[in-house]
Amino acid sequence: MPSGKPEKFYRIAVLPGDGIGPEVIQQAVKVVKTIGKVYGHRFDFAYGLIGGAAVDETGSPLPEETLKLCQKSDAILLGAVGGPKWDGLPPEQRPEKALLSIRKTLNLFANLRPVKIYHPLASCPLKDEITRRGIDIMFVRQLTGGIYFGEKKTITRGDQIVARDVMEYSKKEIEDIARIAFETALKRRKKVTSVDKANVLETSRLWRKTVEEVWKKYPQVTLEHMLVDNCAMQLITRPYQFDVVLTGNMFGDILSDEGSMLSGSIGMMPSVSFGSQHSALYEPVHGSAPDIAGQNKANPLAAIISAAMMLKLSLHLKEEGDIIEDKIKKVLAEGYRTPDIMEPGKTQVGTQEMGQLIINEILKG
C-alpha cells in the first residue's frame, strides 16, 4: 500500500449458509484475504448464521443478530441456503424464507446478475457461431415484490383445497427498478429488453406502461419489450442481442438460471442485490446443491466473482476486483476445470484446488 495513505478498514458480513454455501464462500474469503495481504487492505470478516444452519442453531432461519451484523457491515457475502433436511418445515421457518426476509428488510430491491463468456470456456456448451458474436448480458431483476411477496393462502372451497399466491406490483416498485435498468444500460451498450407477460397478466401491463414512462428520461437508451416465453427461447438462439434484461422477481429468477448456462455453468454466475440502504449483498446465483455438497466438487467461481464485484462496487477497490477476474481467466486458460465445466483434455480440480490456483496467481503478482 502506498505510504502516507491511512489504512482503511472494511467490514464484511459473511453468511455461508447451507450445502455448498460454506465450501464456495471459504474459497471467496481466502481470495479476498489474499488481496488484502498483497494490497495492504484490512478486511474484517464477521460470520453470521443464515438458512438451515441458523434453524438448527437458533430455531430461526434469519436470527436478529445476523440482520444486525449485516446492517453494520460495508457489504454482505452470502453462500446459499436450503436443503432436503429442512424442506418439511412450515414456510416461515424454511431456510429460503431467510433470503426473502433479508432482501425485504434491507430493501435490496435491485438484483443484478451478469452473464459473461469467459473466453477459455467459449465453446462449452454453445455453438461456436453464437459465442463468436459475444455474450454479455446483465439481468436486472426486481427482488422485493411480485408473486414472491403477495398474499399467500391455502383455503378450502367446497370440497376442494385451493392455494393462491397473489402477484402484485406497485407503480413505484416498477419505476425504481426500471430506473436501475436504464442507468445500468447507460454504462453498457445502451439497450434494455423489458420482459413481461403483458398478453395475459395485469401486473405486466402496468409494468410495460411504467417502463415506457421511465424510458422518457433516457432517450439515449433503446427499449424493447419481449414476452417471457419468447425471451426464454431467444436466450438460447440469439443471446448476443441482449444487453440489459429488465424483469420482475419470478421471471428474473427463472431466466437468470437459464442465462447462467450461456457462460458454461450456474457455478459461474455471481450477483449483487442493492437498494436504498448502505449494505449491498453479494451471492452466487446458484443454490446449496445438496447433490454435490461436502464432496469438494462445487465450482467456487460464482462466489469468487461475487466477491470481486463486492470489492469493485461496495468497497471501491476496482483494481483489486479486476485482478481477481483476470486471474480467473488465467487459471481457466491454463485448462483447470471443476467438474461442472470439465471438457476432454482439461485438468479437473476440486473446489479447494480451484480457489488455491487463483490465490497462487494473485500471489505471483
The residues binding ligand NAD (CB under 6 A) are 20, 24, 80-83, 96, 99, 266-267, 283, 286-292, 298-299, 302, 340
Catalytic residue among 74, 97, 118, 148: 148
Which CB, 125 or 134, lies closer to ligand NAD? 125
Minimum Å gap between C-beta 155 and ligand NAD is 25
197 catalytic per annotation: yes
* Rg of the chain in Å (alpha carbons): 21
Catalytic residue among 85, 191, 257, 330: 257
Minimum Å gap between C-beta 82 and ligand IPM is 6
Question: From the list Mn ion, ligand NAD, ligand IPM, none, which binds 298 (C-beta under 5 to 8 Å, kind-based)?
Answer: ligand NAD
136 catalytic per annotation: no
Which CB, 99 or 328, lies closer to ligand IPM? 99
Name which position in 115, 226, 285, 332 contacts ligand IPM (CB under 6 A).
285
By the rule CB under 5 A, 253 interacts with Mn ion:
yes
Minimum Å gap between C-beta 257 and Mn ion is 6
229 catalytic per annotation: yes
Question: From the list Mn ion, ligand IPM, ligand NAD, none, which binds 340 (C-beta under 5 to 8 Å, kind-based)?
Answer: ligand NAD
Measured CA to CA in angstroms, residue 127 lies from 98, 114, 133, 206, 262 at distances of 39, 20, 11, 37, 10
Catalytic residue among 8, 33, 197, 329: 197
Using CB under 5 A as the binding criterion, the count of chain residues that bind Mn ion stands at 1
Which CB, 20 or 255, lies closer to ligand NAD? 20
Question: From the list ligand NAD, Mn ion, ligand IPM, none, which binds 302 (C-beta under 5 to 8 Å, kind-based)?
Answer: ligand NAD
Q: H/E/C letters for each residue in the chain?
A: CCCCCCCCEEEEEEEEECCCHHHHHHHHHHHHHHHHHHHCCEEEEEECCCCHHHHHHHCCCCCHHHHHHHHCCCEEEEEECCCHHHCCCCHHHCHHHHHHHHHHHCCCCEEEEEEECCHHHCCCCCCHHHHHCCCEEEEEEECCCHHHCCCEEEEEECCEEEEEECCCCCHHHHHHHHHHHHHHHHCCCCEEEEEECCCCCHHHHHHHHHHHHHHCCCCCCEEEEEEHHHHHHHHHHCHHHCCEEEECHHHHHHHHHHHHHHHCCHHHCCCEEECCCCCEEECCCCCCCCCCCCCCCCCCHHHHHHHHHHHHHCCCCHHHHHHHHHHHHHHHHCCEECHHHCCCCCEECCHHHHHHHHHHHHHHC
By the rule CB under 5 A, 361 interacts with Mn ion:
no
Which CB, 74 or 96, lies closer to ligand IPM? 96
By the rule CB under 6 A, 96 interacts with ligand IPM:
yes
Question: From the list ligand IPM, ligand NAD, Mn ion, none, which binds 23 (C-beta under 5 to 8 Å, kind-based)?
Answer: none
Residues annotated as catalytic are 148, 197, 229, 253, 257
Binding site for ligand IPM (CB under 6 A): 82, 96, 99, 253, 285
